[in-house]
């Protein structure tokens, strides 16, 4: 088991492009000790595993995996969002989504599956294929599928490139296998589109009836999480990118 822990830590170190010496310096240990841990010649304490994981920015779920591989109990609890210990977090999520009305907002997990959304977001999904809104709803697939929002996204090539670039960055950071599956399914290798919309941000230009909504997105996460589910939630909020969009959403 010790060797498996070492293999996992070595994989994360390489993903972060860190040498053993770099990691040792950051963690305040010798590079020899890091080497011994990675090769299974030394059995690290749970505190040492967590110290190394912290320096490597290992996600909480994967930290638990490293601990379990070494025979230790997980350090970070995990609950469903509707479980009693998560009541305050769930209330905060609901409050954020409600406060953002009449603008769309949603909550996703690391695989971009929909966790929750407000009514303004659901109002934009009226004509998508029913199978795309059956749980679990994947937001990226819903956006880019020809039976989803794709036919109504005016700047589809640009928005697609933006989403896929974000998926690649997130996969590089966390190596979630669900992101790898999404990229394998949706990435056609086309790269950046030739034309781009003007402005400082990439908007989502979504046609709704006779109006084209220009939506700017932001991402919010919980600070200093100690629980796995909390650490993995991301709130995606959309704001009007012009006066016409603001009037349409307020109406």
CA distance 45 to 70: 9
CA atoms within 13 A on the CB side of 158: 14
Percent helix, strand, coil in the chain, to 5, is: 50, 15, 35
| pLDDT tens profile 40-61 | 999 999 999 999 999 999 999 9
* pLDDT tens sequence across 145-193: 999 999 999 999 999 999 999 999 999 998 899 999 999 999 876 666 6
Q: Which of 50-64, 128-142, 174-188, 227-241 has the lowest mean pLDDT?
A: 174-188
Pairing of strands 114-117, 105-108: antiparallel
* Rounded percentage of the chain residues whose pLDDT exceeds 70: 96
CA 74, CA 2: separation in Å to the nearest integer? 15
pTM of the model: 0.89
| pLDDT tens digits, 92-102 | 999 999 999 99
**pLDDT of amino acid 195:** 63
Distance from C-alpha of 89 to C-alpha of 67, rounded to nearest angstrom: 26
């Amino acid at each position: 088991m010790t060797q498996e822990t070492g293999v996992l830590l070595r994989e994360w170190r390489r993903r972060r492009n860190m040498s053993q010496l770099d990691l040792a310096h950051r963690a305040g240990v010798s590079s020899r000790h890091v080497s011994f841990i990675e090769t299974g010649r030394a059995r690290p304490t749970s505190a040492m595993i967590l110290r190394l994981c912290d320096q490597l920015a290992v996600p909480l779920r994967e930290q638990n995996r490293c601990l379990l591989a070494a025979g230790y109990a997980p350090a970070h609890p995990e609950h469903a969002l509707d479980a009693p210990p998560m009541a305050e977090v769930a209330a905060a999520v609901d409050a954020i989504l409600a406060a953002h009305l009449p603008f769309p907002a949603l909550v996703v997990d690391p695989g971009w599956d929909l966790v929750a959304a407000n009514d303004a977001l659901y109002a934009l999904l009226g004509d998508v294929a029913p199978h795309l809104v059956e749980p679990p709803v994947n937001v990226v697939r819903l956006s880019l599928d020809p039976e989803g929002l794709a036919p109504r996204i005016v700047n589809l090539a640009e928005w697609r490139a933006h989403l896929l670039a974000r998926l690649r960055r997130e996969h590089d950071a966390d190596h979630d296998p669900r992101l790898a599956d999404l990229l394998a399914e949706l990435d056609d290798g086309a790269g950046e589109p030739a034309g781009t919309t003007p402005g400082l941000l990439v908007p989502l230009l979504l046609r709704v009836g006779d109006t084209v909504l220009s939506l700017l997105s932001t991402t919010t996460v919980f600070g200093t999480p100690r629980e796995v589910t909390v650490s993995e939630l991301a709130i995606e909020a959309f704001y009007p990118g012009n006066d016409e969009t603001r009037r349409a959403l307020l109406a």
